[in-house]
Amino acid sequence: MKLVYKADIGKKRTHNEDSILVDESMNIFLLADGMGGHQAGEVASDLAVKECYAWLRGNFDKAKGEANILKLLRESLLKAHSAIKAKSTTDINLMGMGTTLMQMLIIGNNAHICHVGDSRAYLLRKGITLLTKDHTAEMYVVKKGIVAGGYLPLQKMRVLTQAVGGQETLSPELRQVKLQAGDILLLCSDGLTDMLSDNAIEAIIQRYKDNLTAVANSLIQEANSKGGRDNISVILVEYE
């Protein structure tokens, strides 16, 4: 597999609240986008990826079969959830902190994905496919048929309905994808997807797909050229 990952502060933020943790030897890929005042978002995202990673490494040998692997990912996310909630009680500046969390574990030709929030996973094969669903107010009301997409005020559309460290209980999204040679997987924070459409992302990947570093740089550069309102993080994996 080929791998590139990169984070950028963007054009508007003064610090980076995104965290990336990758273990190439175990094909573990983690990305979190934190939220909270007084830099609490940084604390939440960093704690999330570290807690997840520790649980995955410590329990990986027990997970045999697709169902158990997805269960392991879910358990690691919930461990991070508990750790963030506990940490938020230790400092008034950390109260209310939370984070998105995207996890991907590749075993053989299967990508196992577990996530909460609005960070996303995409697959580029013949075209681009969004593999995850945003846990946002917009997606909730669209799913319930309350209102069509794009008709909520922008500030309300992006409100998370699920965040690690947020609600008392979480319902992580789980998915397994069978990979083919040449597939490119993209994990990213909403600093990318709020600035670029899926079609724009696909066009950049297609243009530079023989050079993942160029893909990552171009995605971030284009997001910043559109305003760069948030931190931008990307993980790109090409399955060979």
**What pLDDT does residue 139 have?**
55
- DSSP codes joined into one string, 86-139: HHHTS-GGGTT-EE-EEEEEEETTEEEEEEESS-EEEEESSSEEE-S---BHHH
Q: What is the pLDDT of residue 66?
A: 80
Q: What's the CA gap between 53 and 167, in Å, rounded?
A: 22
- Residue 185: phi and psi, rounded to 5, are -105, 135
Cα–Cα distance between 131 and 1 in angstroms, integer?
A: 19
At residue 73, the pLDDT reads: 97
Angstrom distance (rounded) from CA 221 to CA 208: 13
In 3D space, the residue among 134, 140, 163, 161 whose CA is nearest the CA of residue 152 turns out to be 140
Predicted TM-score (pTM) of this structure:
0.92
**Where exactly are the structural domains of the chain?**
2-238
Tens digit of pLDDT per residue, the chain (240 long)?
A: 999 999 999 999 889 999 999 999 999 999 999 998 778 999 999 999 999 999 999 999 887 778 899 999 999 999 999 999 999 999 999 999 999 999 999 999 999 999 999 999 999 999 999 999 999 876 544 454 444 444 544 444 568 899 999 878 899 999 999 999 999 999 999 999 999 999 999 999 999 999 999 999 999 999 999 999 999 999 999 999
The helix/strand/coil state of 29 is strand
Per residue in 131-149, pLDDT tens? 999 998 765 444 544 444 4
pLDDT tens digits along 171-183: 999 999 999 999 9
Amino acid at 22: V
Q: What is the pLDDT of residue 146?
A: 47
The pLDDT of residue 64: 79
Q: What pLDDT, on the 0 to 100 scale, is given for residue 152?
A: 45
Q: What is the pLDDT of residue 158?
A: 64
Sign of the alpha-carbon torsion through 215, 32, 232, 226: positive
* Residue range 2-238, CATH number: 3.60.40.10
**Phi-psi group of 120: left, alpha or beta (phi > 0 → left; psi -120 to 50 → alpha; rest → beta):** beta
